[in-house]
Amino acid sequence: AYTAEKFSAARGNENFRKFEASWAEQRGYVNAALEELGQTQRGFEAHERLEALRPQRPNVSDWDPVETQLLEMAFFTVRFDSQTGALSGLTLKRGGNAWADASHLLASLRYQTFSAQDYERFFRQYIRPEEQNNGWSREDFTKPGLELANPVSRMWQPNAVRVYRRGSQVMVHLQGPAQAVREYGCPRDFYLTYTFNEVTPGINIDLQWFDKPACRLPEATWLSFSPRVSAAADWRMDKLGQPVSPLDVVENGNRHLHAVGRGVTCADGGQFLRIETLDAPLVAPGKPSLLDFNNNQPDLTLGVHFNLHNNLWGTNFPMWFEDDCRFRFKLIFAE
């Protein structure tokens, strides 16, 4: 029961309801912890932080539609890509350094689906040959029966349908491709909001999605940052409070997917960029990378890619997910 039609019918079965109940129980631990904090200062702080994550569909009547793609902000001249809503131009007024262009997008949103062949490749890459027929590894690391649904291995591009401005903020409304919404689990609506700092050169980015269909087929969502930097740029990830290069990872460690703390930095000559992630700790250097275990070094000229969600692994988190979501990032520039 992987396809949208069969899965929708199967969700009413007892075994499916048991899975959903276990995930609800896991989530309940968060509320139980908040109840223990009670009416204390830490309790108030925890509630405030969780409330900041709650998605709220924007009221576009508070915004002015924007027709031009080129805008002037306090510290930047900016351009937005008409298809993706990403920054396709970002030039610092002081010094003139260009961090983005048509080939180097900042805040590019994509939705990904995976095939049975993707799982088979990963299985052969990751599981030692002597363990591939042991009776448990295939069931544990793949999705048996997925081949019957024949899902496609593809990156899908949500399309920008309208751009709005309110003072130093720009908001892009995007919609998921109709087929990806209908047959998979791509959210129907995304709102990508840029807040340009008027005191220091920085940008706050707020991504929200709404009306995401539950999907049992394997899926993932990415937000990518591919700044215009040289091949010699020095990239660092915040790993347990220490700056670590993505190129300094032991062989057979995961060179293509990392959990980070504060985020990542990029120093290129006299220019510096910090990408802070407030809510999405999983980042792939070089290119979005799931189900592809190899020892090749990432190509950092292609930027970094934050995984916002996926349902690939058979562990105890929701294997189908339909929540509205919010993710926040900060871009901080310096010379």
* CATH number for the domain whose boundaries are 59-114+151-334: 2.70.98.30
Least-confidence region, from 68-72, 79-83, 273-277: 68-72
Res. 152 pLDDT band, cuts 50 70 90: very high
- 314-319 contacts at long range (C-beta below 8 A, 24 or more positions apart): 314/139, 314/140, 314/141, 314/143, 316/22, 316/23, 316/26, 317/23, 317/26, 318/20, 318/23, 319/19, 319/216
Q: What is the mean pLDDT of residues 286-292?
A: 97
CA dihedral 310, 313, 315, 318 (to 10 degrees): 30
pLDDT of the residue at 315: 79
pLDDT over 80 at 170, yes or no: yes
pLDDT of the residue at 244: 98
pLDDT of the residue at 174: 99
pLDDT in tens, 30-61: 999 999 999 999 999 999 999 999 999 999 99
Whose structure tokens read 């310096």? 334
pLDDT over 90 at 317, yes or no: no
pLDDT in tens, 6-37: 999 999 999 999 999 999 999 999 999 999 99
Contact 284, 108 (CB under 8 A): no
pLDDT of the residue at 92: 96
pLDDT of the residue at 228: 98
Res. 135 pLDDT band, cuts 50 70 90: confident
What gap in Å lies between CA 188 and CA 183, rounded to an integer? 12
The residues, any chain, with a CB within 8 Å of residue 320's CB and separated by 6 or more, are: 7, 185, 214, 215, 216, 311
Mean pLDDT of the chain: 96
pLDDT in tens, 206-223: 999 999 999 999 999 999
Alpha helices in the chain (DSSP H): 4-10, 14-37, 41-52, 116-126, 137-141, 146-149, 178-183
Q: How do the domains of the chain map onto residue ranges?
A: 1-52, 59-114+151-334
Q: What is the mean pLDDT of residues 120-133?
A: 95
Whose structure tokens read 């129980």? 25
pLDDT over 80 at 316, yes or no: no
What gap in Å lies between CA 277 and CA 267, rounded to an integer? 18
Which percentage of the chain shows pLDDT scores above 90?
Answer: 96
Res. 68 pLDDT band, cuts 50 70 90: confident
pLDDT in tens, 239-253: 999 999 999 999 999
